[in-house]
Structure 1
Amino acid sequence: MREDQPDSTLPRRQLGRALRDAREGAGFTLEQAAREMEMSKTSVIRIEKGHNDKVKLRDVEAFGRVYDLSERRIEELKALAQQLATRSWWQANRHLLPPGFKTYLGLESGASQLFVYQPLIVAGLLQTADYARVIEQPYLPTDTPEDLERRVAVRLRRTAILTRQRNPITAEFILHENVLHTIVGSRTIMAAQCRHMADMSTRPNITLRILPFSAGFPADGNPVLPYVILDFPEGGRGFYTEPPVVYAEATIGSMFFEEIADVKRYHGIHQSLLSATLEEQAARDLLRQVARRYEQ
Structure 2
Amino acid sequence: MPPSQGPLIPRRRLGHELRKLREAAGLQLVDAARRLECSPSKVSRLENGQGLPKLRDVRDLLDLYEVRDHRLRTRLQGLATASQDEGWWSDHPEAWPPNLGSYISLESAASEMLSFSGFGIYGLAQIPKYCWEVFRNNFPDAPDSEIDQLVEIRGRRQRYVLNRLGELKITAVIDECALHRVVDSADTMRKQLDNLIDFAEHDGVDLRIFPYSTGYSLGIQCNYVIFTFDNDTDQDTVYQELSGGDRFSAQETEVKKYRNIFTNLLSRCPDHKSSLDLIEKVKRTNYE
The reply to whether TM is greater than 0.5 is yes
Q: What is residue 237 of structure 1 aligned with on the other side? A: none
Q: In structure 1, give the amino acid aligned to 2:31.
A: Q
- Report the Cα distance in structure 1 between the residues aligned to 2:272 and 2:110, rounded to whole angstroms: 23
- Report the Cα distance in structure 2 between the residues aligned to 1:118 and 1:164, rounded to whole angstroms: 22
Q: What is residue 259 of structure 2 aligned with on the other side? A: 267
Q: In structure 2, give the amino acid aligned to 1:260.
A: E
Q: In the TM superposition, what is the alpha-carbon distance from 1:190 to its structure 2 partner?
A: 1.3
Q: What is residue 116 of structure 1 aligned with on the other side? A: 115
Question: How do 1:134-283 residues align onto structure 2 when only pairs under 5 Å count?
Answer: 134-137=133-136, 143-164=142-163, 167=166, 169-219=168-218, 223-234=220-231, 240-283=232-275
Q: What is the SS of the residue equivalent to 1:290? A: helix
Q: In the TM superposition, what is the alpha-carbon distance from 1:189 to its structure 2 partner?
A: 1.4
Larger deviation: 120-129 or 81-90?
81-90
- Report the Cα distance in structure 1 between the residues aligned to 2:121 and 2:139, rounded to whole angstroms: 22
CA contact (8 A) 2:5 2:105 kept: yes
CA contact (8 A) 1:174 1:210 kept: yes
CA contact (8 A) 2:7 2:87 kept: yes
Q: In the TM superposition, what is the alpha-carbon distance from 1:5 to its structure 2 partner?
A: 5.2
CA contact (8 A) 1:208 1:283 kept: yes
Q: In the TM superposition, what is the alpha-carbon distance from 1:223 to its structure 2 partner?
A: 4.7
Q: In structure 1, give the amino acid aligned to 2:53.
A: V
CA contact (8 A) 1:3 1:164 kept: no
Q: In the TM superposition, what is the alpha-carbon distance from 1:211 to its structure 2 partner?
A: 0.6
Q: In the TM superposition, what is the alpha-carbon distance from 1:166 to its structure 2 partner?
A: 7.4
Q: What is residue 127 of structure 2 aligned with on the other side? A: 128
Give aligned pairs, total. 287
Q: Cα distance 1:269–1:153, how it changes in 2: closer, same or farther (>3 A)?
A: same
CA contact (8 A) 1:228 1:247 kept: yes
Q: In structure 1, give the amino acid aligned to 2:281.
A: Q
TM-score (normalised: structure 1): 0.88
CA contact (8 A) 1:162 1:170 kept: no
Q: Specify every segment of 5 or more residues in structure 2 that has no aligned partner in the other structure, as ranges.
A: none
- Report the Cα distance in structure 2 between the residues aligned to 1:142 and 1:34, rounded to whole angstroms: 46
Q: In the TM superposition, what is the alpha-carbon distance from 1:89 to its structure 2 partner?
A: 1.8
Question: How do 1:42-121 residues align onto structure 2 when only pairs under 5 Å count?
Answer: 42-52=41-51, 54-72=52-70, 73-93=72-92, 95-121=94-120
CA contact (8 A) 1:7 1:107 kept: no
CA contact (8 A) 2:16 2:233 kept: no
**After superposition, what is the alpha-carbon deviation per residue over 1:195-254, rounded to whole angstroms, capped at 9, x for unaligned?**
1111111111111000111112244xx7531110001243xxxxx431211111101311
Q: Cα distance 1:276–1:102, how it changes in 2: closer, same or farther (>3 A)?
A: same
2:280 is the counterpart of 1:288:
yes
- Report the Cα distance in structure 2 between the residues aligned to 1:24 and 1:287, rounded to whole angstroms: 53
CA contact (8 A) 2:210 2:268 kept: yes
- Report the Cα distance in structure 2 between the residues aligned to 1:275 and 1:213, rounded to whole angstroms: 15
TM-score (normalised: structure 2): 0.91
CA contact (8 A) 1:209 1:283 kept: yes
Q: Cα distance 1:95–1:47, how it changes in 2: closer, same or farther (>3 A)?
A: farther
Q: Cα distance 1:74–1:103, how it changes in 2: closer, same or farther (>3 A)?
A: same
RMSD value, Cα:
2.2
CA contact (8 A) 1:249 1:255 kept: yes
Q: In the TM superposition, what is the alpha-carbon distance from 1:10 to its structure 2 partner?
A: 0.9
